[in-house]
Structure formats: structure tokens, C-alpha cells
A and B are shown apart, each in its own frame.
Chain A
Amino acid sequence: MRKAFVNKLTELVSKNKNIYLLTGDLGFSVFDDFRNIFPENFVNMGLSEANMIGVASGMAMNGKYVFVYSIIPFITFRVLEQIRNDICLQNLPVKIIGVGEGLTYGTSGPTHHAIEDIGIMSSLPNMIVLSPGDPVEVEKLVEESINLKSPCYIRLGKNGEPAFNSPNTKIEIGKGNILKKGKDMAIITTGSMLSTCIDVANDLEDEGISAMVVSLHTIKPLDEELLGEIAKKVRRIFVIEEHISSCGLGNRIAYYYAQKNIELKVKYIGLPDLFIKPSGKQDFLRKQYGLDVESIKREIICFLKSS
């Protein structure tokens, strides 16, 4: 996903010199080429995230397209008030790029985990929250983000996630992306859990269960139209995320259906309201917390049988 981000950014800057990338001292091996090709459009802000957000806000006031980049906790939790006052309150179209969604930095421990950021960033008025599911979604969403009139937060995983979309797939901010059709149930997911969810759906297919898979890359604003349609088509929905479910995508979808008085059987599969420790590799932690293919499949079949 990082590669996809920097490739797209390189392409955009080659056409528009008003685009800037500010980084909080991160990007080794990711931005090496970018900073050589566009030294004027690249600033290593150093370890000063609060200042980075303020500077980005000031630059945006002067019509610059600014991307700020760091690891998720440092570019969200640490600078929450700067994001709220300097960017959201003044509705400036700064693009906040966080890397290491979910448990990407599993072994680094809870300081580096990003399992609350969807909730926190989504709580800010004016903020658009994006969590792409594969490198193609990253490219398309980053490209479209240039035209936004409001701030946005884009959370990325690492490198090497498989692509599920073809380069021609239509991907738009605010529109959920249906990767697989299905009539019995729907899986709605966000971020790089997409890969796991597609595996789950394929396995279920072998067992005669037809599952739709949606990459809801835009968490805010929610694609209410699509959620409404899904509710009409299937009566069982699974919201799956590598994030604390009670403050993540699950929370937002539950709120939407509750507000609309839509009665459905929805199962929320995500992380509990806990710091994840002891730490370990992402795959290990996913298994521990029931977010691997087998566990999810088991959970789904059990829910389908019992409801």
C-alpha cells in the first residue's frame, strides 16, 4: 500500500507542483526516490508532529495540497487537537496519511498499534476517513483526494498486500466497493482485512453459502445507499475489521441501521476494547483475536445456524 501511495503521489506531483509531502521523519526506502526527484516538494519535518499539522494547515490556507505522513498513533492520537482545530475546524483540505493500520506493527507493541484511530478520526466534523483494502484502492483514493475540499485521513497498511481490484475498477470516495456478489449474506470490511474476507467468502462458497464482499474503504461519510441496498438483499451481515469494533466500522454501521430502524441480523467481528498484549506478528495476533480465515468462518457459520 505504501508503494502504491508513493507511486501515485509521484505521478500527481509531476503534474502539479503545488502538492507537498511532509513527513515526521519516516519514509526510509519508501520516499528515497520521491525526495530525490522532487526535493522542493518534500519536507522532513523531523520529530515534531504537532508542528507538522500546524504547518500543513498554514500551507493549505495558501492553496497548497499537503500530505502529512507518519505512523498512525503519532499522526492521529498525538496531535488530535491540532487536527481538530487547525485542520477540521477551519475545514482545510489537508491529507493525513497514517501507516500501520490495525496490527501491522504487531511486534512493536501497543504504542504502535492502530486499533482506535477510525473511531477518533471519524468523530471529527468535516473529516473524511478512508481505509483502502488493496493497492488499487490506495491509488484511486489518493488521486481523488486531491480534489477534496475537506480534510481527509487515509490509513494504510504496509507493503505487499495483494490487489483484488483491476486497474479499471471504478473506485470512488464515499462509495463502497463490491468485490464479490452473493445472495445469502454480506461481509462488509475495511482496510487490509479485505484479503482475509475474500478468502473467507471463497471458502464459504465451497460450503454452499453465497457471500457478498464489500470493501467499505470510505468509513466517513458512510455509503448509506449501499448499506440500505445490502439490507434489502440479505438478512445476515458481518462487519469485519482489524480495529476495536465498538468504536470502528461496526459502531458506525450499527448506528446507521439503528437510526433508520432497519432490523437485521448483524454480527460485528473485530477487536475487543483492549490494548493488544502480549504483542506478536500480525498473523499471530489475528489468530489470537479471531481475525484469521478459520476463526471468522467458524464464527459466521455458527451465527448463521443460531439466528
Chain B
Amino acid sequence: MQVVSKLQVEDMKNISFEIRRQLLFMHAKSNESHIASSLSVVDILVTLYFEIMNIDPNNPYDPDRDRFILSKGHAASALYAVLAQRGYFEKRVLDSFAGNGTKISVHPERNSVPGIEVSTGSLGHGLSIATGIALSAKKDCKKFRTFVLMSDGECEEGSVWEAAMFASRFGLDSLIAIIDQNKWQAYDRTDPIQNLSLLKSKWESFGWACKEVNGHDFEELCDVLKDIPFKIGKPSLLIADTIKGKGIPEMEDKMEWHYKSPKLENVEKYLNSLRRSYEKSIRK
């Protein structure tokens, strides 16, 4: 069953193109790292903020809103761009990314701008916080959902597994963890450090209902995320297969783009690459 129309998918592709275009300028201007980590999660964020979550940018503190926590805080530039695009704040705020005196630093800070729920930046914290939010929602019989986006490398943090054990014990099925599995971590491929082929079975053995998805395919993302929880009484885990640096071929799947930032004089070149990738994606 197709849960989103062709038109909706086209819209999301357009929005994602716009977000990636913004990211190029934000990182070029600020000279900050992590653009590839941000490019990796753009499509997941666009799906959540434009199709899946019950949110109202005009009422960002609504107690019944769905919550989103970016546990991989180093991809905050993508979240800022998505929030601005969604209308949480004006797009010109993005020009101040990582600048002196900015509200939007490289890692996000709670309530620095509307829509940032939690301060993150050190890995392995977001899932516990999300679990606390979901637990209190359950205690209050609230229906909102709590989404948390983590990186694959982050699953090496022990606290992730403490939280995983706890969430399933309480049957927190309003909790949805998404792993941005781009198969890179800061100084290596993720795979020799942890066996990624075992990731799903690890989470299943901790009592989570797990699914896998192509993290750049809007139809697949919508399809799987419109039907949550994956199993009543269990927290849901979605492993999103992604490409680090997605959308700008020069940056795709390359470790150095965890560190580099595009030079201002090269923005035009990357923009052309981005445009070609985008055109290829809409012909699909």
C-alpha cells in the first residue's frame, strides 16, 4: 500500500534539495565540520517534520506535540535548516550558524531556537532522555510520540544499551529510535569497530521491534513510519541505511568529510553536483 502520493514525494524531494543547498552555504560560511553527517540525515528529518510528526511550528511548546531528539548532535545544521524550512523560525537565522554569539551552534542547545527540545553533542545521551520523556508520557496517559535519531557509531556507547534495556522493560511503544546507519564513524568505518550485521539482532534481543529502511527513499520512510509502533507494547527501532554526505557525490561515503567544510569558492561546483543528483532522483 502506498501511504504517500507521488506529489508528496516530489515535495519532499524538493524540500530536501533546498535543505542540502542551505547546508552547503551554512558550512561554507562557518567553515565548520560535519556537513556529511548532516547530509546523511536530511531525508529522515524531512520525512519526520513534513509527513510523520504531529507538530505545529506556531505552537512549539504544545504539551501534546510529538518530541524529536537529535542524539547525534553533530548533525544539528540539518535540523536547524529543516526547522527553519518548516517555519519554526526565520531562515535568515541560518546565516548565523556557528558564528560568534549565535543561537545555533554546531551542537544544538535546548530552546535556543524554537523546536530544539534537548541539548546534545556528546553521544549516547539522547536515548535515555527520550526514554524519560516517553516514560512520563505513559505515566500521564499522554498519546504523543518521542522520536530520537542516533548514529550507528553511537551504538558503541554503553549508555545506549542501558536505555534500550529500560525502554523495553517498560514497554514504551511511543518511543521510536532511528539509527542513521551511514557506516562511518569519526576515525573508521563503523563495521570493524562493531559488527553492523548484528545491529538489528542486538536490538531485537533487547526487546525492541525492529525494521530496516532505505534512509533516502521517501516512500519507504513514510511507509514504515506511518505505521508505528511496529509492535504494540514494544519500543520501535528503525535502522535507516544511509550514505554519509548524501546528495553531493564528492562528499559521499568519504571519511574526510566528517572534518572538512566546503570552501566558499567551491560552493558553486558542489551546488551543481547537488543539482545533478537531485535531477537524477526526480527522474526515478
Q: Does B135 make an interface contact (CB < 8 A)?
A: yes
Residue of B nearest to A62 (CB): B136
B159 touches A82 (CB 8 A): yes
B119 touches A89 (CB 8 A): yes
Q: Does A14 make an interface contact (CB < 8 A)?
A: no
A85 touches B166 (CB 8 A): no
- Tell me which of A52-60, A135-143, A167-175 binds B: A52-60
Across-interface contacts of B119 in A (CB, < 8 A): 85, 89-90
Residue of A nearest to B133 (CB): A58
Q: Does B192 make an interface contact (CB < 8 A)?
A: no
A59 touches B135 (CB 8 A): yes
Complex Cα gap A63–B124 (Å): 23
- Beyond A54-B125, A54-B127, whether A40 also contacts B132 by CB under 8 A is no
Residue of B nearest to A81 (CB): B122
B139 touches A58 (CB 8 A): no
Q: Does B9 make an interface contact (CB < 8 A)?
A: no
Complex Cα gap A86–B165 (Å): 19
- Tell me which of A42-50, A181-189, A214-222, A234-242 binds B: A42-50
Interface, chain B (partner A; CB < 8 A): 109-110, 117-122, 124-125, 127-137, 139-140, 158-159, 162-163, 165-166
Contact of B130 among A58, A82, A85 (CB under 8 A): A58
Contact of A59 among B122, B125, B133, B159 (CB under 8 A): B133
Complex Cα gap A48–B128 (Å): 10
**Which of B117, B121, B124, B128 has its CB near the most chain A CB atoms (within 10 A)?**
B128
A57 touches B140 (CB 8 A): no
Q: Does A64 make an interface contact (CB < 8 A)?
A: yes
Contact of B136 among A51, A53, A58 (CB under 8 A): A58
B166 touches A55 (CB 8 A): yes
7 cross-chain pairs, A with B, having the tightest CB-CB distances, nearest first: A58-B132, A54-B128, A51-B162, A48-B162, A55-B132, A62-B136, A58-B133
B140 touches A62 (CB 8 A): yes
Across-interface contacts of A51 in B (CB, < 8 A): 128, 131, 159, 162-163, 166
Across-interface contacts of B130 in A (CB, < 8 A): 58
Q: Does A61 make an interface contact (CB < 8 A)?
A: yes
Complex Cα gap A57–B119 (Å): 11
- Beyond A51-B159, A54-B163, A81-B122, whether A86 also contacts B129 by CB under 8 A is yes
Contact size class for A? 20 to 34
Residue of A nearest to B134 (CB): A58
Across-interface contacts of B136 in A (CB, < 8 A): 58-59, 62-64
Docked complex: A9-28 residues within 8 A CB-CB of B: none
B128 touches A53 (CB 8 A): yes
Across-interface contacts of A59 in B (CB, < 8 A): 132-133, 135-136
Across-interface contacts of B110 in A (CB, < 8 A): 89-90
CB distance from B146 to the nearest CB of A (A): 8
- Residue pairs across A and B with Cβ atoms less than 8 A apart, 15 shown, are A48-B165, A48-B166, A50-B124, A50-B128, A51-B166, A53-B128, A54-B125, A54-B128, A55-B135, A57-B129, A59-B132, A61-B132, A62-B133, A85-B120, A90-B118
Complex Cα gap A80–B175 (Å): 26
Residue of A nearest to B169 (CB): A46
Contact of A86 among B109, B125, B135, B166 (CB under 8 A): B125
Contact of A85 among B121, B131, B132 (CB under 8 A): B121
Residue of B nearest to A82 (CB): B125
CB distance from B210 to the nearest CB of A (A): 20
**Which of B119, B128, B129 has its CB near the most chain A CB atoms (within 10 A)?**
B129
- Beyond A54-B127, A89-B119, whether A62 also contacts B137 by CB under 8 A is yes
Contact of A55 among B118, B121, B128, B137 (CB under 8 A): B128
- Beyond A55-B135, A58-B136, A59-B133, whether A85 also contacts B128 by CB under 8 A is no
Give me 13 other A-B pairs in contact (C-beta within 8 A), A48-B166, A51-B162, A54-B159 excluded: A40-B139, A54-B125, A54-B129, A54-B131, A55-B128, A58-B130, A58-B132, A59-B133, A59-B136, A62-B132, A85-B120, A85-B122, A90-B118
